[in-house]
Structure 1
Amino acid sequence: MNKISELFGSRVFNDAVMREKLPKDTYKALRSHIDKGTPLSLETANVIASAMKDWALEHGATHFTHWFQPMTGITAEKHDSFISPTEGGGIVMNFSGKELIKGEPDASSFPSGGIRATFEARGYTNWDPSSCAFIKENTLCIPTAFCSYGGEALDKKTPLLRSMEAIETQALRILKLLGNKSSQRVLTTVGPEQEYFLISKELYEKRKDLIYCGRTLLGAKPPKRQELEDHYFGAIKPKVNEFMEELDEELWKLGVLANTEHNEVAPAQHELAPIFSSSNVAADHNQLTMEMMKKIAGKHGLVCLLHEKPFAGINGSGKHINWSLATDTGENLLKPGKNPIQNIQFLLFLSAVIKAVDEHQDLLRISVASPSNDHRLGGNEAPPAIISIFLGDDLQEVLDAITEGKCEVPVRNRRMGIGVQILPDFKKDTTDRNRTSPFAFTGSRFEFRMPGSTTSVACPTYMINTIVADSLMEIADRLEASSDIKADAVSLVKDIYTQHKRIVFNGNNYSEEWVREAEKRGLLNLKSAVEAFPHFTDKKNLDLFEKHHIFNEIEVTARQEILYEEYCKLINIEALTMLDMIHKDILPSVSAYVKDLSDVVLSKQSISENIPCEMEKNLIHSLSSACDILYAKAAALDQCLLEVNALEKIRDAADYFCGKVLPAMNELRAIADELETITAAKYWPMPTYGSLLFT
């Protein structure tokens, strides 16, 4: 590997490259467009496109693509070459400003939630200059937004960009009221921690459920799982280490700040975390990270599983989103400082978050709602479905003191010693990281721990941005009418905490006591995705999105419809896959085992009726009985699918899938897993959990 400093960003048309490749006036115009939103002329775009093309050709690129993020949750791209024909049968390499700014992919096969009419198949991609173009293999990838023929957002990026503008507008109002005249920009920053599994490619290819669904639909518990907690932060296996090294190298080339990697709790589970970047860039980089994980794993004889719950009975995978606010002068607005009770700027922004999370629990839950994440949430491995905020004792003490009219709190000893002379004392963090909390303050940021591993960073982030922007707007409105901003700011902090402290909980979110306490506090407990989806179009949420120009009503309704459709389609695929495995693999294999056992009994009895056969007979009886039950349960599941397919309304279908199909699948699985435990290994038709997790 080359020196990291030389390798990093070598495939990115970043600011340093733009400074070098663009004329000064062009570079200045582009920076003004990115930083201040000033118009970008087609003439300037032509110069940028030409320089971008020349740079890409120097690095071996032959094609370009508008790289976008439709509502599928993954990225999309259509490749066009740079070549243009000339007279005499030759070619030249061209790339215009028009091609840079706008693309026209067919939008007909992307999820649209009813926005796209059949006769309006065309969609548009629009260059996002705030996220740098990059080269992937032989293609120049240009990050873009994606909209319908009528201009409605059909992607994950557009609402994220809108939300970034909304929260910046309101945050700057607050800063100016507090006397901060130097900050011209406020960015939301994100650092997503990506969890994933790595398993043998050879074994993966023998499991239909992993191939079609990304998770195991069947599988008995192995003798060992994660009880010994020996995998967490353990020594990384050589093959996995080789994968991680190549992954780092490829991500660094693309400018992704891949930083921390380690073994996670479950066997075969791992994590990669980047250094913070602006939320738009972080969302793009996380999509690249997931793509590269899958691609590079295959080169090492592995498969990367990004499903939230690939294996029952062990921890699933999440994507913890570390979110904060920073100014263009490098100031973190959520940093408490040495004396938080006197830091009114911090307290106002903290209060805005508390208010936002309490008032919009439903939107945060929706942002992580999916059938796959339902398997993970609340499973003593991830936060429960009840939204709450962990602040830690210190910050809660500060807010309690303010509500009591105090202006100081006792000074705490923050030095810690382990009791061994050779080990130096160190400073204790002012907060703990409560692993059970959905939304925890962790020093200078909030960690949203509910998103699943496949979740696009964009959706939870634009939800957080939007709801916090709304709180900041109300705070700014009140302070702008104030004659004593400092006194009224303190009063605001007190009022907000008093009204919204029900959302603050520093204890064990896994306990039954908390469930009962949360109900007393009036907090939402939307246990499944289908319980959360209807709230997307609540009037308060429609008003919120329209107020901050994130979505219009059509765009919200479309997204809700897409969520319902995806839910139904995913569970339908899982149910059909399960039935296929039962009928074509498990029942024939177990029947073959029963036949061989029967042949053994007949063979023994042909020699002598006195030879014991009780073991074989009992096993034949157990296997045969279980197969009969399995066959009946499969028929019941098949009937459920017939009934759900007869339903006309997608919401009714989603409710049926949740309430009837999933329970039927669970019953079917229980019998199949029992069969696995009593079927000889050579007859079982697919790799077991023990093989998948420990090979």
Structure 2
Amino acid sequence: MSSHVECASKPLPTDYYGENVFNDKAMRQHLPKTVYKSLKQTIEKGERLDPAIADVVASAIKDWAVSKGATHYTHVFYPLTDNSAEKHDSFLTPDDEGGAIAEFSGSNLVKGEADGSSLPSGGLRSTFEARGYTAWDVTSPAYVMENAGGIVLCIPTLFLSWTGLALDKKTPLLRSNQAVNKQAQRVLKLFGVETNLPIAANGGLEQEYFLVDRDYVMKRPDLLIAGRTLFGAKPPKGQEFEDQYYGVIPERVFAFMVEVEQELYKLGIPVKTRHNEVAPSQYEIAPLYESANLATDHNQLIMTILRRVARKHNLVCILHEKPFQGLNGSGKHVNYSIGNKEIGNLFEPGETPHDNAQFLVFLCAVIRAVHKYGAFLRATVASASNDFRLGAHEAPPAIMSLFLGDQLQDILDQFRIGEVKGSRKKRIMNIGVDTLPPIPADPGDRNRTSPFAFVGNRFEFRAVGSSQNPAGSIVALNTMLAESLDFSATFLERELQKNCTLGEAVQKLVAFIVEEHSAVLFNGDGYSKVWHKEAERRKLPIHPHTPDALPVFTSPEIIDLCTRYNVLCREELRSRQEVYFEQYIKTTHTEAKLALSMARTNIYPAAIRYQTELAKNAKVLSGLGIENSDKLLKEMSELILKLDMAIRELQVQIDFDPVDEKERINVQKNPGLAPNIQMTEAEHCRSKILVAMQELRTLADSLETLVAEDLWPFPSYQHMLFVK
């Protein structure tokens, strides 16, 4: 009885949902009506913030935060590292009477200053040019973050250089929203649709992750530093039984998930789904749909909370894309659409999509965008860690194609030949169980091998890595779509001037786009080798590795695209390319040196000890006149010799400089040549260092299967993945 009473007394999520967010409810409660209305106009309609209300808003936010125990505030921003960044400042200001008061002005709220040189800027800021600014993003609400040591008011912000260039992920996202809004409004106007609210991108971000007992991670330098295992033999059981996905959640993991959700609910993050993923010890959390800007901010918070709560349960949350070789890696699926509260989702096909001319225009704009700028989209997910995942039998290939499903593909084929007859209807499934009513099935199946798939009323981009900030990909999607909507609006306007009806103009547009850009449409198996050959025949861009993909950022067509719609200027694109190349090179070198250290100081000595034991045993048995097969000893000795050679080869590749001294001197004179050096270094990492690392790993993993378990220096896959 008492347990039921205790359970009933626990607060419900509806009681504390959003309690740590300065949301609409808090604004109405703490702001004067006129200030609230002005701020609301800025948030909902994208109008310029009235500077006159900044002090009032700042005071209200401060009072609200202090009432919750906050002593400091921080401008949270998202640099090019894919992580969040923050600098804490105290509310306290000394008075003249030996005490202190809590102060927070409008200028503190709207603008902050951060170091613009110590964070990666890709040459936009030199070390001696340190000034950088954070600017309040009023469309993403402030919140208080509860930490073990105290409570902090967090204000989502942009991060800009002294010259106004974007040093972050958020600024281009907001700019791209403006671009897609302008062009979408042009198209809607042709259909007689008016809206007082801006058209914006929406996103649903599914987050995959692994959980491993912290005691094991502390004994694995690779997991601790690199976030992935550089060594590890395949366990007797992996994911081949297909019994992990949607399986019963282990009790310890369930307790972790519940606490994560409680923390996220307080922050107003609408998490909806939790489940086991395909690989052992792999899980997923997914929130409901939100505006893309808010969704990306919330995703950063989700990753933070996952890591923080895991520590409380003596677990480590691993967000690396491929922490365990031979098992599925982790992604972050971006469910993408555009629209607003007034007119809804512009990718909603309705019951008769063949008659929904507005939907078809927006659909075809996406097809054209992915075909023309698929390489740009691919470049946004390029990283050292995601390279291990993309293209494997778990994630989409690095070739950007688009899956529409049977119904929409059939409709477009009808437009192509000029005979539109209708749409495939939903069929009824006959289950064969008398107690079940007839169940309608969708007119098309899903394709999990496609990197960009239509899934009913939105597109799912499945190539984003689990540790990546998804803002970069949404920026590309928005900008690509803005250009295609621009093209579509111009096409329709031109046809209407020829006295065509809107229906005739739409039919011409759809037929033209399908004819010119259908090469990007693919409904088959994206994993198959046949598709790779077919994609090459269709002349789709194929960039299997990061060094192949990153040069796209500074290609003439992408510079033209991003500058034309004021999303990223030439310097900002160049800086991103430089930063991402640098991250790829540094990551590879760090992992290589770590692998070298582990092999030399842990694996090699363990193998020698076991070899010595085997040799002593053979000698003792021989002395007793007992026949002994030395097959294992010979196998061990051969592997140890090869391991030593592999260690030496990896050291050679780490030490080798693929760029000669003259080239480096030329770069000092002409910094514009820097990308050439980075490409050379990155290619050396891919083709030499990573190959040497894999060879070393293959030998070490073979030794792990032979060396006595009590001598092997690291926890095995079997322990890490199956001990919950």
Which residue in 2 is equivalent to 1:26?
35
Cα pair 2:352 2:423 within 8 Å, conserved: no
1:227 matched to 2:255? The reply is no
Write the deviation string for residues 634-665 of structure 1: whole angstroms up to 9, x where unpaired: 11111111113766422211011011111111
Distance 2:424 2:200 in 1: 32
Equivalence for 1:506:
523
1:656 aligned partner, one-letter code: H
Among 673, 686, 708, which residue is 1:658 paired with? 686
- The corresponding residue for 1:692 is 720
- 1:675-686 correspondence to structure 2 within 5 Å: 675-686=703-714
AA matched with 2:600 = H
Provide the rounded CA distance (Å) in 1 between the counterparts of 2:45 and 2:328.
45
Give the letter aligned to residue 314 of structure 2: G
From 299, 302, 317, the equivalent of 1:304 is 317
Deviation for aligned residue 1:419: 1.3
Deviation at 1:43, TM superposition (A): 3.1
2:446 corresponds to: 433
Output the CA distance in 1 between the equivalents of 2:410 and 2:533: 24
Q: State the match for 1:88 in structure 2.
A: 97
1:308-319 counterparts in 2 under 5 A?
308-319=321-332
Contact residue 183 and residue 327 of structure 1 kept, 8 A: no
CA drift of 1:430 comes to 2.9
Q: Kindly indicate whether residue 613 of structure 2 is the aligned counterpart of residue 613 of structure 1.
A: no
Given residue 184 of structure 1, which amino acid in structure 2 is its aligned partner? L
For the 8 Å contact 1:186–1:328, the answer to whether it is kept is no
Name structure 1 gaps, 5 residues minimum.
Answer: none
Per the alignment, residue 572 of structure 2 pairs with 555
State the match for 1:488 in structure 2.
Answer: 505
Supply the distance in 2 between the matched residues of 1:528 and 1:443 (Cα, whole angstroms).
31
The one-letter code matched in structure 2 to 1:49 is A
The number of residue pairs the alignment matches comes to 691
- Report how far residue 410 of structure 1 moved: 5.6
Residue identity opposite 1:558 in structure 2? S
Alignment of 1:527-546 (within 5 A): 527-546=544-563
Does the Cα contact within 8 Å between 1:282 and 1:457 map onto a contact in 2?
Answer: no
> Cα deviations across residues 670-694 of structure 1 (Å, max 9, x unaligned)?
1111111111101100011111111
Q: Which amino acid aligns with 1:676?
A: E
What are the superposed Cα offsets for residues 445-495 of structure 1, whole Å, 9 maximum, x if unpaired? 000011111111101111101100100011112223323333212211111
Deviates more, 1:414-423 or 1:375-384: 414-423
Match of 1:16 among 25, 35, 42: 25
Residue type at the aligned position of 2:222: D
State whether structure 2 residue 65 is matched by structure 1 residue 52: no
1:393-412 aligned at under 5 Å gives the runs 393-409=406-422, 412=425
The answer on whether the counterparts of 1:430 and 1:443 sit within 8 Å (CA) in structure 2 is no
Aligned partners of 1:412, 1:286: CA distance in 2, in Å?
A: 36
Contact kept, 8 Å, 2:45 with 2:197, in 1: the verdict is: no
Identity of aligned residues (%): 46
Contact 2:562 2:569 in 1 (8 A): yes
1:645 to 1:525, Cα distance in 2 relative to 1, 3 A = closer
1:372 paired residue number: 385
Question: What residue is the counterpart of 1:456 in the other structure?
Answer: 469
Give the corresponding residue for 2:284. Answer: 271
Counterparts of residues 60-209 of structure 1 (less than 5 Å): 60-137=69-146, 138-182=151-195, 184-209=197-222
Q: How does 1:212-291 map to 2 (within 5 A)?
A: 212-291=225-304
The whole-number CA distance in structure 2 between the counterparts of 1:290 and 1:433 is: 28
Assess if the C-alpha contact under 8 Å between 2:446 and 2:455 holds in 1: yes
Residue 670 of structure 2 corresponds to none
Alignment of 1:375-394 (within 5 A): 375-394=388-407
In structure 2, distance between residues paired with 1:430 and 1:55: 51
Counterpart-to-counterpart distance in 2, 1:110 and 1:25 = 40
Report what 2:616 is aligned to.
599
Amino acid at match of 2:575: A
**Which residue in the other structure is 1:476 paired with?**
489
Aligned partners of 1:187 and 1:328 also within 8 Å: no
Deviations 1:408-435 (A, max 9, x none): 2265352222111111112212332200
CA distance in 1, matches of 2:356, 2:175: 29
The residue type equivalent to 1:568 in the other structure is I
Other structure's SS at 1:270 match:
strand
Partners of 2:26 and 2:419 in 1: CA distance: 53
User: What is the distance in 2 between the residues matched to 1:83 and 1:121?
Assistant: 26
CA distance in 2, matches of 1:410, 1:270: 37
Contact 2:22 2:142 survives alignment (8 Å): yes
Distance 1:235 1:408 in 2: 47
Which structure 2 residues correspond to residues 625-664 of structure 1 after superposition, within 5 A? 625-644=638-657, 648=664, 649-664=677-692
Q: Deviations over 1:301-355 (max 9, x none)?
A: 1111100000011111111110011223151110110111110000000000000
| Alpha-carbon separation, structure 2, partners of 1:273 and 1:630 | 43
* Larger deviation, residues 527-536 vs 278-287: 527-536
Cα shift at 1:624: 2.0
Residue matched to 2:673 = none
Q: Secondary structure of the residue that 2:316 maps to in structure 1? A: strand
Mapped to 1, the partners of 2:196 and 2:106 lie a distance apart of 32
The one-letter code sitting in structure 2 at the alignment partner of 1:53 is K
Q: Deviations over 1:501-549 (max 9, x none)?
A: 1110111111122111111111111111110111111101000000010
- SS of the residue corresponding to residue 678 of structure 1 reads coil
Q: Conserved in 1, the CA contact under 8 Å of 2:118 and 2:127? A: no
Q: Quick check: 1:320–1:449 contact (8 Å CA) kept in 2?
A: yes
Once residues 63 and 115 of structure 2 are traced to their aligned partners in structure 1, the CA distance between those partners, rounded to angstroms, is 28
Give 1:383 shift.
0.7
Which amino acid is 1:35 matched to? E
Q: Give the Å deviation of 1:44.
A: 0.6
* TM-score when normalising by structure 2: 0.94
Deviation readout 1:45-71 (Å, 9 max, x if unpaired): 000000000000111111100000001
Could you tell me how far apart the structure 1 residues matched to 2:173 and 2:695 are? 41
CA distance in 2, matches of 1:77, 1:182: 37
Matches of 1:564 and 1:234, distance apart in 2:
39
Aligned letter for 2:221? K
CA distance 1:410–1:478, change in 2 (3 Å): closer
Q: Secondary structure at the match of 1:557?
A: helix
Unaligned runs of 5+ in 2: 1-9, 665-676
Give me the CA root mean square deviation. 1.3
Question: How many Å separate the matches in 2 of 1:441 and 1:410?
Answer: 16
> Is 534-543 or 424-433 further displaced after alignment?
424-433
Equivalent AA in structure 2 for residue 567 of structure 1: Y
2:284 match: secondary structure: strand
Deviations 1:79-104 (A, max 9, x none): 01100110121111000000000000
The aligned amino acid for 1:527 is P
Cα distance in 2 for residues equivalent to 1:508 and 1:491: 31
| Aligned partner of 2:701 among 673, 678, 682 | 673
Following superposition, the deviation at residue 597 of structure 1 comes to 2.3
Output the TM-score relative to the length of structure 1: 0.98
**Counterpart residue identity of residue 69, structure 1:** Y
SS in 1 for 2:210: strand
SS at match of 1:221: coil
Q: Deviations over 1:221-240 (max 9, x none)?
A: 11100111011100000000
Q: In 2, Cα distance between the equivalents of 1:499 and 1:317?
A: 35
Identify which range, 509-518 or 385-394, moves more after superposition. Answer: 509-518
Alpha carbons 1:644, 1:657 under 8 Å: kept: no
The secondary structure found in structure 2 opposite 1:123 is strand
Work out whether residues 203 and 295 of structure 2, in 8 Å CA contact, stay in contact via their aligned partners in 1: yes
Shift in CA distance, 198/407, structure 1 to aligned 2, threshold 3 Å: same
